[in-house]
Structure 1
Amino acid sequence: MAHQTVGVYSETAPGERRVALVPAAVGSVLDLGLAVVVETGAGRGAWFPDSAYTRAGARTVPRAELFDAADILIGVRPPNVAATHRFRAGQALVCLLQPLHVPDLIRRWAGQGLTTIAADLMPPTPGRAGPMDLFAAQERIAGYQATLSAAGLFGRCLAEPGPGPPARVLVVGRGPAGLQAAATARRLGAVVHVRAARPGSGAARPGFGADLAASVRGSDIVIVTAETPGGQPPELVSARSIRSMRPGSVVLDTTAGALGRAVELAQPGGTRVVEPGVTVVGDDNLASRTPTGASTAYATSVAALLTHLVRDGALSIDRTDPAQAAVVVTHHRDVLNDAVWQRILDQISLAGLP
């Protein structure tokens, strides 16, 4: 089998500065027997010039040439292509796909024979950060950035250099972003309390909402994170709870985006001040605020994932492999992920499509 080519496309979403492969990771991909082409300017937002990619052994090409040449396309977000664009049968796409939220795209791309690999569906490695945990790595960076962003909007230092008490920070969510946000706030000197984003799976918790509202009311900074990828965030913090906070407080929702929000007053990509003087931020793209580090972490995980997927210089899909079963959504015109297939069927039924 001829050796295949990996193509790294530019991210086009507003505010997205990451790139899926950094120059330092190109060598790891070349070692798999793959060629690497990078869209011209793809790394610019993360401070990686084209010259760094060519020195590492990649070629830089225009976007149209990249989509024609690449056998395996890799990105952070799904590629922004026209509805009339047709992928070549047998091409593959690796990105943070969020397939449950784009069933129309999945159906169209499956019909074209595109193999889609949703890196965000990789299950976490118990007890440690696994090398292929792309979503977890990006969430940890987002949690770090969430604390820095909230601290920058807060009216005083988290740990006062004078006699004042340290800030009280509430982090909602015990996933990678929440735990990193809490650790960062503690290093900055805040008193930190971490709560789950939902009741435990055991006994019913009828007082969960009231307990959370009381915790919000007593906090100076509230950071709300997602515990699991891909799902629509539940609304956790109400407008009433926010308006019960002290003037100068900050609420930051890391889930607020196209899929929904966990904080009632959060505007995706926006910052607002509501009575009695609480700053509310909605931002689900915090990792892009640290584009060099986030891109490097992403590229390391991509290289590890490709190492798992590639044999003798070509993509090798094995449906019996547990890791592949988790992330391969479409292959050979079939939708392999049961949840995504059900979402497609639901959409077809709702629209009355054939």
Structure 2
Amino acid sequence: MNIGVPKETAANERRVALTPEVAGRLAKSGWAVLVERGAGEAASFGDESYGTAGATLVAAAEVFGQSDVVLKVQPPSIEETRRCREGAALVASFQPSAERETVSQLAARKVTAFSLALLPRITRAQAMDVLSSQATVAGYKAVLLAAVATGRLFPMLVTAAGTLTPARVLVLGAGVAGLQAIATARRLGAVVSAFDVRPAVKEQVESLGAKFLEMEIGEHAETAGGYAKELSDETHRRELAFIAQHVKDADVVVTTAAIPGKRAPILITAEAVRGMRLGAVIVDLAVETGGNCELSQAGNDVIHNGVRILGPVNLPSTLPYHASQMYARNVSSFLLHVTRDGKLVVDFDDEIIRDTCVTHAGEIRKT
């Protein structure tokens, strides 16, 4: 079976779906790995390292034309979809609802397309969980962006000029990105607090040295898969008031709250921003799905009433070396799960395959 790895063509995407390390392991296991020339350069993986690992370097047309399975980070462009061999398979990470034209084209080409963004949150899928691995990178980078944007140092310093107090960082949402943001801010010396509607994460937050802000929710706020779920209107109003009280004292706020398949919840209103300290910084990691701050703009920095609001997009791509390493290990685990004896096995009785398969045999299975 031929595995193809094209160079990512989406704007500002620097990651690559397979690193030389993982490509080498697959090649030694009997797979033929075709890598487009230059595919890994933006992530600091040169062509020579792929060749040494046992991959074959080819042009983009050959990757799509000769591969049984194409591995990507971003969804394919319409042009790439047209290049896919009819009946081939594709593995990437995307939301079908945001890529309707691409999904239609994949179905028309009878491509069996899988999206790792749709993986069920079960133990068997942990090694394939690209959302968690990339969220780790995003949570780390968000704090670094905040540290650059703020006008103060993070740690407490005792100097000949007197003692400098540490920065106060508030993290909203204690999923993978939030926990990594907490850990990074603590390593930089900040005083960190965190809030999440799921009481179960309190122990994890406190184990990282942060204070967990508790609010009486009064309803079950967690899905069976462990994700936060949408709150009732009344509870959400109380949540907004609770958060508004705590952002007043923060020098930095990192927001990471998301609800799978839905718009990100608003956690910081424009009014709450007006109550924040002059020079405070908000980094909204949920901006690509609508944003947790009412004033966030995807890809832009906004200054409102002296508060700087950052809306970074695709943060994992800004640290492409390690982001690609984790993604490649995730995608190879998935690849080994959906193949057997060199053939693709599409078993819809398997929850992982059923949930991630977007198109198969000319049909659209996820919209």
TM-score (norm: length of structure 2): 0.84
Distance 1:271 1:10 in 2: 29
Distance 2:244 2:302 in 1: 20
Match of 2:249 among 218, 235, 242: 218
Match of 2:324 among 295, 302, 318: 295
Match of 2:135 among 93, 115, 139: 139
Amino acid in the other structure paired with 2:180: Q
Distance 2:44 2:172 in 1: 33
Distance 1:146 1:83 in 2: 32
Query: Does 1:118 find its partner at 2:115?
Result: yes
Q: Is the 8 A contact 1:17 1:291 kept in 2?
A: yes
Query: Does 1:16 find its partner at 2:46?
Result: no
1:178-232 Cα deviation digits (max 9, x unpaired)? 1111111122221212212796535952411111122222211111114455433
Aligned to 1:242, the other structure's residue is in SS state helix
Aligned to 1:109, the other structure's residue is in SS state helix
Distance 1:238 1:326 in 2: 35
Aligned to 2:127, the other structure's residue is in SS state coil
Unaligned runs of 5+ in 1: 341-354
> What corresponds to 2:302 in structure 1?
272
Aligned to 1:158, the other structure's residue is in SS state coil
**Alpha-carbon distance change, 109 to 100 in structure 1, aligned in 2, over 3 angstroms:** same
Match of 1:54 among 51, 55, 58: 51
The CA RMSD over aligned residues, in Å, is 2.2
> What corresponds to 1:166 in structure 2?
166
Q: Percent of aligned pairs with the same residue?
A: 40
The residue correspondences of 1:24-43 to structure 2 (distance < 5 A) are 24-43=21-40
Aligned to 1:15, the other structure's residue is in SS state coil
CA offset at residue 265 of structure 1? Answer: 2.1
Q: Is the 8 A contact 2:82 2:105 kept in 1?
A: no
Query: Does 1:188 find its partner at 2:188?
Result: yes
> What corresponds to 1:175 in structure 2?
175
Aligned to 2:120, the other structure's residue is in SS state coil
**Alpha-carbon distance change, 117 to 226 in structure 1, aligned in 2, over 3 angstroms:** farther
Q: Is the 8 A contact 1:32 1:313 kept in 2?
A: no
> What corresponds to 1:260 in structure 2?
290
Q: Is the 8 A contact 1:93 1:116 kept in 2?
A: yes
1:13-57 Cα deviation digits (max 9, x unpaired)? 222111111001112222443211111111111111111111111
Distance 2:285 2:252 in 1: 13
Aligned to 1:279, the other structure's residue is in SS state strand
Q: Is the 8 A contact 1:176 1:227 kept in 2?
A: no
Distance 1:165 1:307 in 2: 51
Q: Is the 8 A contact 2:119 2:125 kept in 1?
A: no
Distance 2:181 2:287 in 1: 16
Q: Is the 8 A contact 1:197 1:236 kept in 2?
A: no
Distance 2:276 2:82 in 1: 50
Q: Is the 8 A contact 1:172 1:224 kept in 2?
A: yes
Unaligned runs of 5+ in 2: 199-216, 222-230
Aligned to 1:131, the other structure's residue is in SS state helix
Distance 1:63 1:142 in 2: 29
Distance 2:363 2:324 in 1: 31
The residue correspondences of 1:192-207 to structure 2 (distance < 5 A) are 192-196=192-196, 201=220, 205=235, 206-207=237-238
Distance 2:187 2:264 in 1: 28
Match of 2:282 among 243, 246, 251: 251
Distance 1:283 1:13 in 2: 16
Distance 2:248 2:125 in 1: 33
**Alpha-carbon distance change, 285 to 150 in structure 1, aligned in 2, over 3 angstroms:** same
Distance 1:18 1:42 in 2: 9
Give structure 1 regions of 4+ aligned residues with deviation exceeding 4 angstroms: 197-200
CA offset at residue 322 of structure 1? Answer: 1.6
Distance 1:228 1:129 in 2: 19
1:140-194 Cα deviation digits (max 9, x unpaired)? 1110111111112111111121323321111111221111111111222212122
Distance 2:108 2:180 in 1: 40
Q: Is the 8 A contact 2:34 2:63 kept in 1?
A: yes
Q: Is the 8 A contact 1:97 1:117 kept in 2?
A: no
